[in-house]
Amino acid sequence: MNVSDWIPDIAKLEAHDDEEWLRVEREYAGRLYHYVARRVVDREARHDVVQETLLGAVRGIKSFDPTYTFEQYLFGICHNRTIDFLRRRRADTLQTEGEDDEPAPIERLAAETETPSRVVRAQEFSENARRLLALLLREWVQETWSEGEFVRLMVIEALFFGGWRNKDTWQRFGLNDETSVAGIKFRALVRIRELAQERPEATELFLALSRLTQAGEATFDFDVGQVWRASRASCPARVWLARALAGTLQAGPKSFVDFHLDEMRCEFCRANLEDLRTRTSDELEALHERARESTLRFLRSRGAN
């Protein structure tokens, strides 16, 4: 079983290094395939979408945003290519409601009545805030995981990733009442604000989080849930999914991984898990061969220019 959390060398990818891109294909094609397979019935069409995804990654690598992981970069392209295919086929619905909506950015902080120059500055702030918040959310998740606070982590994921109501959340986790959920959420936001305070470049984000924690949810300057979902802040590393598949997770991590897969139904992690189950299938071997050929053909055409 391949449980690699290998991270490619972005500089080599930007230089169109054959070996680095071929390893990308080996490591990620199966995960992408299982993501597409949840929406696209036709086998050849699935192969087409994965092939287009990998070629799109090669073409767009110079715009890679290091705020996110390379896997997120690939899955973002794959999402778009899948939606394009479904639209071409005039699909009436997607398997998951709202799947054709792109992750929304953080709402800009400027009011509609502000001048054009103020609006531009607000949009720039919004993008910076989104990037910083994505980093801070992942930092909070890692900190909470390392502390073994898996119920707290599941509560926050239910609220931000799943969009659950406080009422549903406290009942699911056996808490005292809705106030308990609100308290967990408030303390999480306070801690994220503290993490922002430690970063000199996060002054504006810190102020926004301060207003949010002081005045309540009605004054949200941005949707934390949107950033959580777009950044996949709580997705466990591939090695944890492999341990879940092998049945070797301890109780705390297992409770969270099961919740993430079965109740949050994270499509990216479910695709990863399915890839771990089927790494040696004949269908994936055919996909790898086809993807390798198209990737090499494109890379060599670039080298000839």
Write out pLDDT tens, residues 140-166.
Answer: 999 999 999 999 999 999 999 999 999
Q: Judge whether residue 182 has pLDDT over 60.
A: yes
Q: Judge whether residue 103 has pLDDT over 50.
A: no
Q: Judge whether residue 113 has pLDDT over 60.
A: no
Chain-wide mean pLDDT for the chain?
82
Averaged pLDDT for residues 231-238: 93
Q: How far apart, in whole angstroms, are the C-alpha atoms of residue 177 and residue 181?
A: 7
Q: How far apart are the first and last CA of the chain?
A: 39
Q: Judge whether residue 44 has pLDDT over 80.
A: yes
Q: At what angle do helices 282-303 and 43-60 cross, to 10 degrees?
A: 30
**pLDDT range class, residue 116, cuts 50, 70, 90:** very low
Q: How far apart, in whole angstroms, are the C-alpha atoms of residue 193 and residue 191?
A: 5
**Hey, where are the domains in the chain?**
10-103+235-303, 116-222
Q: Give how far the C-alpha of residue 204 lies from the chain's centroid of Cα atoms, to the nearest Å.
A: 24
DSSP state of 109: S
Q: Judge whether residue 178 has pLDDT over 80.
A: yes
Are residues 104 and 110 in contact, defined by beta-carbon separation less than 8 angstroms? no
Top-confidence residue, 204 or 96? 204
Q: Judge whether residue 298 has pLDDT over 80.
A: no
pLDDT for 120 equals: 42
Q: Give how far the C-alpha of residue 19 lies from the chain's centroid of Cα atoms, to the nearest Å.
A: 26
Q: Judge whether residue 249 has pLDDT over 50.
A: yes
Q: Judge whether residue 50 has pLDDT over 90.
A: yes
Are residues 43 and 283 in contact, defined by beta-carbon separation less than 8 angstroms? yes
Q: Give how far the C-alpha of residue 90 lies from the chain's centroid of Cα atoms, to the nearest Å.
A: 27
Are residues 256 and 154 in contact, defined by beta-carbon separation less than 8 angstroms? yes
Pick the closest to residue 45 from 290, 301, 292 (CA basis): 290
Percent of the residues in the chain that have a pLDDT greater than 70, as a whole number: 81
pLDDT for 68 equals: 85
Q: Judge whether residue 91 has pLDDT over 90.
A: no
Q: Judge whether residue 220 has pLDDT over 50.
A: no
pTM for this model (two decimals): 0.74
Q: Judge whether residue 219 has pLDDT over 50.
A: no
pLDDT for 95 equals: 46
pLDDT for 150 equals: 97
Q: Judge whether residue 305 has pLDDT over 60.
A: no
pLDDT for 60 equals: 93
Here the contacts of 13-17 (C-beta below 8 Å, separation 24 or greater) are 13/58, 13/61, 13/64, 14/61, 14/62, 14/64, 16/58, 16/299, 16/302, 16/303
Top-confidence residue, 248 or 3? 248
Percent of the residues in the chain that have a pLDDT greater than 90, as a whole number: 53
For CA atoms 267, 269, 272, 274, give the dihedral sign: negative
Residues 6 or more apart whose CB falls under 8 angstroms from that of 92 comprise none
List C-alpha distances in Å: 304 to 295, 297, 298, 301.
Answer: 14, 11, 10, 5
Region of poorest pLDDT, from 148-162, 255-269, 270-284 = 270-284
**pLDDT range class, residue 280, cuts 50, 70, 90:** low
Q: Side chain identity at 295, as an amino acid letter?
A: T
